[in-house]
Each structure stands twice: as structure tokens, then as C-alpha cells.
Amino acid sequence: AIYIGLRRNSAAAWLALALLFGAAETMFMAMAGDPVIEIAAATVLAPAACLCIGESLRLTTGGRRHWPLLAVVAALVGLSLLLLALGAPFVIQTVPFQLAGALALGDSIYRLRGSRNLLDICLMLNLGALLAIFLIRIPVYPLVFDPTVPLVTIKGSPIEQYMLTASALLVPPAVFMLLARIVGGIIATHRTRAERDGLTGLLNRRAFDEVSAAAGPDGGAVIFCDIDNFKRVNDHFGHQVGDAVICAFAGLIGNTGHCAARIGGEEFALLLPGVDAAEAGALAEYIRARFHEAAHHGVPAGHRLSASLGVAAYGPGLP
């Protein structure tokens, strides 16, 4: 339902697929009645669900797909199915697929590494606990259970019941935290589109007006910039070159560290709270000189571009 409500968001689609695999595994384990079918379903569906969670996170973090990891997980699942077909004891057959699930969750944790966001930290700890459950089963099953013990006995054992309960408690928070991450990313994207100029990434006119209106009472200065004869650049060299020139100027004023905005086609502004007119004038001259000296792709070397900049002070008592 959330996937549909988010207009078919890809990250939500992978999360929905993970939930579908998890639900299918639960149904097989509860209703199949055949241990071989139950084991085969868990072997395939549990790592698949973990991989889908990783894909959902990949889309929210902007990372690349780790093809070698996918190949290793697939190979481990295949090995586990082969052991099942050969009649290997469950405590041995389950080892590769438990490792596959752990590796798949490890990929998700790796994608969240280094984040200082509280939601990401909580999600990473949650996934780490789920990963631990996969890893704990690998040495515990052979140590606790005789190889001849059937699956139904293992399923009913206290240690497996504890692990299933822990998984049941950990999965819903993980789902909700991942959903919160997906929705938060969508909100941030829309906010960026509403506040930022699509070509340069600087603030747009509306956002700059809002920032200016919220400027502190101590005063400061504003620099207004205009690229000279910009229409000629478009007419003589083409709009692609014109866009490159605009981006170059935007990068120049954006690198000053002050609040920079594109307020029109070739018009820009810089807000400098706490800066007096003389200091703002020196910065304006620096920007003008740097832009005039710069070479631009598509513009002949002998054709230097220029910009006009004006400085105005603001604050109490100023018009």
C-alpha cells in the first residue's frame, strides 16, 4: 500500500518484495507439512528477503550494486539446496544458507556505515542483531543437536523458539525505520527541488527571499550579480555554452561559503550577514576579477566574459 501511495517508488518496491518473501517463508514453514519443502523455502526466501532490504537501502543511499556479493549469496543458497537434495542432515545443510543471509544483511549494514543520523544508527544496530541470529545458528545447531535430529524437533526446541521470537521482535522496527528513511528521502528531494535552482544547485529566488527575511537584526550586506551581455553568449555560442557559463559563475559564488542564489536567468545574489559594505565590496571585486580571468569551454580564448556586481548594506536604520 505504501509502495502504491508513494507512486511506485523503487526503494519501497524492494521493501515490499522483501516483506512478500518473508510472508511466503512464514506460510511455507507453518503450512507446508513437508520438511523438505519447508527447508527449501527457507533456504531461498530468507536470503532473498535480506537482499531485497539491501537493494532498498542501496536506492536510498545512492550506492552501487555489489555484484560479487550477490554472486556469493546465490552460490551459498545453491550449495544449501544441493546439500538438501543429497540428503545432508539439516544442521549441516542449513550452514550455507544461514551464512548467505548474514552476508546479505552485512551488505545493508555496510551501506549505513559512517552515518551519524540517529535513524541510520538504530537501523544498523537492528540489522546487526538480525545478522547475529543468522550467525549464531551456524555453530549452535551442530553443537546442540545431533545430526539425526529432524527439523520438527529443532523447530520446537527452546533455543530456536527464542531466536524466532527475537527475529519477530526485530523485523517490524527494521521495516518501519527503513520506511521512515525512504519517506524522509522523498521529502528531502521535494524540498530540494522547491528550494534549489535546477541548473546550478544554488538557492532559487523564493528560497533566497525567505532566507533574507529571516536574516538577523545585526545587519550585513548583499551582493547582486549580473553576467554582462549574456544574450550574446547564447546567440553566438549556443545555449549549452551559456548554461556552462552560468554554472561556472554559480560555482564561483557558491564557493565563497556565503548564502548564494540564482534569482533570474543570469542574475545572482549573495547574502552576507555580519559583513560590512567595505568587506562585501572587496569580495565582489574578487568575484568579478576571477570570472573575467576564467576561460570557458566553447568560448574563444580571446573573448573574455565579464560580470557587473553591486553591493548594498542592510540593517537597523538603513533604507
- Residue-wise pLDDT for 72-86, tens only, equals 999 999 999 999 999
Residue ranges of E strands in the chain:
220-227, 259-262, 267-273, 307-314
Is there a contact between 308 and 226 (Cβ–Cβ < 8 Å)? yes
pLDDT at 39 over 80: yes
pLDDT cut 70: percent of the chain above it: 99
Task: Measure the CA–CA gap between 237 and 235, rounded to whole angstroms.
Answer: 6
266 is catalytic: yes
The pLDDT tens digits for 267-297 are 999 999 988 889 999 999 999 999 998 888 8
Is there a contact between 148 and 89 (Cβ–Cβ < 8 Å)? yes
Q: What is the mean pLDDT of the chain?
A: 90
pLDDT at 301 over 80: no
The pLDDT tens digits for 142-190 are 888 888 888 888 888 999 899 989 999 999 999 999 999 988 888 888 8
Q: Quick one: which of 77, 75, 1 has its CA closest to 39?
A: 77
| Active-site annotation holder among 25, 38, 160, 266 | 266
Q: Which residues contact 165 (CB under 8 A, 6 or more apart)?
A: none
DSSP 6: T
The pLDDT tens digits for 195-204 are 899 899 999 9
Which of residues 118 and 7 earns the better pLDDT score? 118
pLDDT at 317 over 70: no
For residue 72, the number of C-alpha atoms closer than 13 Å in the C-beta half-sphere is 13
Can you give the pTM of this predicted structure?
0.72
Look at residue 319 in the predicted model and tell me its pLDDT.
Answer: 57
Please, what is the angle between helix 158-195 and helix 118-144, to 10°? 160
pLDDT cut 90: percent of the chain above it: 58
Task: Measure the CA–CA gap between 221 and 312, rounded to whole angstroms.
Answer: 6
